[in-house]
Amino acid sequence: MINTGPPAGTARGHVVYVSAVSLKHHVVRLRDRGTVLGTRSLGAEVAKEIRASDPAVGALILDFSAVRVASSPFLDEIVCAVRSTIADNPDRYVVSAGLNEDVLDTVQLVAERRGIALAVLQTDRLHVIGGKRHLEETLAAAQELGSFTAPQLAERLELKLPNLHQRLLQLQNAGVITRTDDTSAARGRRLLFGTPDPGELAKSIC
């Protein structure tokens, strides 16, 4: 189960998120396929739409609103498609939203069986399912910062940079972290990491 409460130690200061408003986004509305999604062949149709989505969009959102039941075979196709589209387009967010408790539990089971971490939006917060607990803790700290450098997040988590970089790579592979070159760096190359504003993502599925 996901802890949907605010993370411990949430900062009270202003959080600078990567705005979903400034990002082009594509929403795959699962309810267009029905409220009970049961067959692998139907999952393959949705997976095809996921893989064919415009690579230029900054966020791909899978909207499960109004879906009552989704079977493991259906979701297996979706999970595999999400993994491949993240691998092909690592510079965009891929988030599932609007999942009821039963669908969320089944997605988590499928993701764990496949060894895949996925990003989900629940009660206006982003979470990671299918991965180890430390990824959820790392994402919570990243959301407190919104946009950050690796040293900033490492200091907050009291981690050494090599260990943090491993976590950041796993979160990027989950579709919930992106990275760009920090143009404000005084010298050399410095990466700037970001998470999307969950409130703005939520508006896109209303």
Q: Look at strands 125-129 and 147-148 and give their pairing.
A: unpaired
pTM of this structure: 0.87
Residues 70 and 42 sit within 8 Å (Cβ to Cβ): no
> Residue 45 has which token pair?
């149709």
Where are the domains positioned within the chain? 25-203
Instruction: Return the CATH fold of 25-203.
Output: Arc Repressor Mutant, subunit A (1.10.10)
Instruction: Give phi and psi for 103, each to the nearest 5.
Output: -65, -40
Inter-CA distances, 84 with 98, 99, 151, 155, Å: 22, 21, 29, 32
Strands 93-97, 118-122: pairing kind = parallel
Q: What is the pLDDT of residues 4-19, one digit of tens each?
A: 554 433 443 456 665 4
Residue 109 burial class via C-beta count within 10 angstroms: exposed 0-12, middle 13-18, buried 19 and up: middle
What is the rounded CA–CA span in Å between residue 27 and residue 203? 11
CA distance 98 to 162: 35
Question: Which residues on adjacent β-strands are paired with residue 198?
Answer: none
Tens digits of residue pLDDT in 23-57: 688 999 999 999 999 999 999 999 999 999 998 99
Per-residue tens of pLDDT for the chain, all 206 residues? 565 554 433 443 456 665 444 568 899 999 999 999 999 999 999 999 999 999 899 999 999 999 999 999 999 999 999 999 999 999 899 999 999 999 999 999 999 999 999 999 998 899 999 988 999 999 999 999 999 999 999 999 999 999 999 999 999 999 999 998 877 766 767 789 999 999 888 888 86
